[in-house]
Amino acid sequence: MARMVAFAEQTGLEIVQVYYPPYHSKYNPIERCWGILEMHWNGALLDSIDTACEWARSMTWKCLEPAIRVLDQVYETGVRLTKQAFKAVEKRFQRHASLPKYHVLIQPTPA
């Protein structure tokens, strides 16, 4: 979340983050896309990154072709903000009145 605040500041863009409730992946468009991809490769052996990328490149979903990139960067896991640092970041959040846990707005500071 701290990176999202920094991104909003750097770009001047407003960010709206909406979480889907647990076990509701059917409402998430990317989850439906994964299902289409699984049906497309129909049990083919994805034994290399190149093979998986070629299968993904050859699919379409709702007349759209996916943008395929291999991300080989290793991301650190277990990185957490201290409670004090998170409080500073959380001050920037505007939570939805009826869905505070699932809908967060982050606005850049006015110039």
pLDDT digits (tens, 9 = 90+) for 16-54: 988 877 777 777 777 777 788 888 888 889 899 999 899
- The angle subtended at Cα 25 by Cα 24 and Cα 28, nearest 5°, is 115
Q: What is the pLDDT of residue 110?
A: 78
CB 37, CB 56: distance < 8 Å = yes
Q: What is the pLDDT of residue 19?
A: 83
Q: What is the pLDDT of residue 98?
A: 92
Give the DSSP letter of residue 98.
S
d(CA 55, CA 58): 5
pLDDT digits (tens, 9 = 90+) for 73-111: 888 888 888 999 889 888 889 999 998 988 999 988 876
Q: What is the pLDDT of residue 5?
A: 87
Give the pTM: 0.53
The dihedral sign for the CA sequence 73, 77, 93, 89: negative
